Structure 1
């Protein structure tokens, strides 16, 4: 229950902050006029998020969902696919895939971005050679009972030649 009230509180605060700086009703929407508040984030938060993402990556390398499961929230979902196709649902689909396919010991993955705002965060990774495939993954994370958990995984699976079609 704490997760839901904390998340709701974060959404309400973000909505209030957005409303306070909103443009007049007749203004056209534009990203160029948006401003974001700069909030100091403790380096430990980034390291904890890196650890959660690292569990996901290591689970892929070992081919064991049991390694990556602790990184995911119990209600996590996953969506994505190759090209313009999108498939997804509960994160158990990822776990089943990992356990039924070979390990990817040569997986090369790098975190390219982490953004933190209070109890929510965004992370992106680029992965090469996940059993010969290339992926872009974007994660939404929540801090639940003091631990960062992946709530949403959205991915793009590139064609065999690495091109986006």
Structure 2
């Protein structure tokens, strides 16, 4: 028998990441919450070059209070890398609620389910 591939795991991770994308597009954190571990974190660099972020609740509040629905905004899962029970992924999104950004996620397979444990991101400034 040949060594199994990560096709099934890749599909499971895309399902998790698509919850995040859809929550952003609909401006509803309730859609994305199940994608994140309750202990997950989110960080970025603010306009002053300082580290900003913390508990994932910051993301949920920002989505619910600061985003507006953008159902046609393009977003793509650019890559997923998987090794055993650990994975990383990148999502690029354009003009979701007027913002274009790149997200990097770290996921772990906990109790048989993929969950996001950390997110870092970069906001692309229009030139």
Instruction: Report the TM-score when normalising by structure 2.
Output: 0.90
Root mean square deviation, CA, Å: 1.5
Does structure 2 conserve the Cα–Cα contact (< 8 Å) formed by 1:124 and 1:139? yes
Where 2:59 maps in the other structure, the secondary structure is: helix
What SS is found at the alignment partner of 1:104? coil
Q: Indicate yes or no: 2:55 matched with 1:97.
A: no
How many residues get paired? 123
Which of 46, 51, 69 in structure 1 is aligned with 2:10? 46
Deviation track 1:57-116 (CA, whole Å, cap 9, x = no partner) reads: 000111110000000011000001456443100000000011112122232110111100
- 2:82 — aligned with what? 116
Counterpart position of 2:20: 56
- Distance, in Å, in 2 between the alignment partners of 1:81 and 1:149 is 24
Higher helix share: 1
Structure with the larger strand share? 2
Which position in structure 2 is the counterpart of 1:32? none
Residue 15 of structure 1: aligned partner: none
Structure 1 window deviating more from structure 2 (97-106 vs 46-55): it is 97-106
2:32 aligned counterpart, secondary structure: helix
Q: Is the 8 A contact 2:6 2:82 kept in 1?
A: no
Structure 2, unaligned runs of 5 or more: none
Contact 2:25 2:97 in 1 (8 A): no
2:124 maps to 158
Aligned-partner Cα distance in 1 for 2:45–2:98: 15
